[in-house]
Every structure is written in C-alpha cells, then in structure tokens.
Copies of this chain bind each other. A is one copy, B any other.
Amino acid sequence: MPDASNITAPTRFIETKLEKYAYRRFGRGASLPLLCLQHFTGTLDNWDPAVADPLAQGREVILFESAGLGRSTGEVPDGVPAMAAHALAFMDALGLTLVDLLGYSLGGMVAQQIALDRPSVVRKMLLVGTAPEGGEDIMHMEKPELKKISDDPNLPGLQRLVKLFFTSSESSQAAGQAFVARLAERKQDREPISGPSVAKAQITAFRAWERVNGERFGKLRNIAQPCLVVNGVFDSMIPVRNSYMLTEHLPRAMLLVYPDAGHGSLFQFHDSFVKEAVLFLDSTTI
C-alpha cells in the first residue's frame, strides 16, 4: 500500500447531486471504512498522518472535503445541518451505506447531525474535541486568549495551530511542532488554504450550534451508536466540559480525556489515540 498515507494519497474528486467534492481514500482492512470529518477551516491537508495512516492499516480511511473548502465546489454552509447534507451526498455518490465516523471539532458536530438525520449509515462514532448542540463556549475566536493567537501577524499559519491546538507546556508545544512538521510532509497535490469567508460561515454555524433548541441535549438520546468521546483536559477552543455533556447524555458514549492537552489531543497523543480508536472500533462490548 504505497499510497496508504495522507502524505502521498492522491486527491480525488466526485460529482454528486449537490457539489463536486475533493476527497482522499487510502488503506484497507476488514473493518468498516472510517469517514473523517474535519475541523474549523481545516482541509484534507490538516489530517495528521500519524493518526490517519495507522488507522488505514485495518480499514479504509476516507477524508472528506466539504463544500467550499479546498477544491470542493460550492459555498461553506453557515449551519451544521447543511454540512451533514453535504457529507451524506458524498456518501451516496461513493455508495457508502455504512461507515464509522471520526468527527473532529466541527466535524464532530457534523457527525452527530448525520447520526440524527440518517442513523442507518453510521455504525460507531469517534467524537473528538467537539460539543453537543446547546454546548458552551464553542469556538469563540474573539476570546482574548484565542484572538491574540489568530491575529498575531508574526505567526505563520501552522505555528498558529501549535498555539491553538496545544497547551503552553514544553511537552505539548514540542508535540505541536512535531504535528505541524508531519502536516508539512505532503509536498504535492495540496489543497488551497481556507480564507476568511470559510471562517465566517463556520463561526456562524458554531453560534447556531451553541443555541439550546427545545430540551437541552434531548436529541442526544436519539443517537444509539456507540461513541468514543475524546478531548484534551485544557482545550481552550471547545472546553472539555462539552465532552462531559456529550458523555452524560449520549446513551452509549465512552469518554477519554488526555492530560496536558488542548484541542489537538488526538495529534499530541497520536499513538494512544490510534490504539484507543482501534480498541473502540473493534470492541463488541462497548
């Protein structure tokens, strides 16, 4: 499998009833395909090979570029339900009738929405650094601690990720530098970087997701799939209490919280995360 890596896997394109989407698929194995849904402003190039590649050793990993991101056509929706509709159109066009989902941050919200809108296509979900509808303090980039990082003109884009996704400790920052070095390993066939209009639409979606609609967390009762909820204990973008809320209200959610880690806990503890993800995906008892 020379291309079973997000460093080398070619970007592919598929026409659907909604848009033409960019995507990558690589790896193989006996397990269900793992469809990966990306974070705020992230593209296919933001999937850490240290997470995606080992997961692709036991299953096909499919990275999805939603509408208006990278080389996918269309507009970035300003709400999670429309994002879920794009993911479902993509699945339909590829003929994917049952998958596991890895939803990271914004992608975790889209994953929950997919499970609500069409439960039959989802077997299990990994919900990482994310929040339930009606959650708290979700991606408030205007908070001083986040704004000073995202507005810093001296920080190149990847270095912003090191500050935003990792804690200020020496070990977490070192893990952050290793993470962005891995992201930079892909040299060709890269996606365009997201601009301000992407951020604006996705922030609007976060504000809508934060609102309590009806009984708070009531919809979570309808998600019957086993879920593994993962976060860093010091996530400044989507605080860990949102992961507590998910775990306390999803009927079948196991929670895993990493120490000295922020929003990018899965990248900081990639070896552990991959082992935990495989244990969870292969388990028949959880």
Seen from chain A, the residues whose Cβ lies within 8 Å of a Cβ on chain B are: 233, 240, 244, 247-248, 250-260, 269, 271-272, 275-276, 279, 283, 285-286
Contacts and interface: CB of A to CB of B under 8 A. Distances in A.
Copies in the complex: 2
Given A233-B248, A247-B233, A259 B254 contact: yes
Q: Is the interface of A mostly helix, strand, loop or mixed?
A: mixed
A252 B247 contact: no
The 4 closest A-B pairs by CB, nearest first: A255-B257, A252-B259, A253-B259, A272-B286
A272 B259 contact: no
Nearest to A285: B271
Given A251-B259, A272-B283, A275-B279, 11 more contacts: A233-B253, A233-B255, A240-B248, A244-B244, A251-B260, A254-B259, A255-B257, A256-B256, A269-B285, A271-B285, A272-B286
A242 to B, nearest CB: 12
Given A269-B286, A271-B285, A279-B272, A257 B247 contact: yes
Nearest to A244: B244
Contacts of A269: 285-286
Contacts of A260: 251-252
Nearest to A234: B248
B285 A272 contact: yes
B255 A255 contact: yes
Contacts of A257: 247, 254-255
A283 B258 CA distance: 13
A257 B244 CA distance: 9
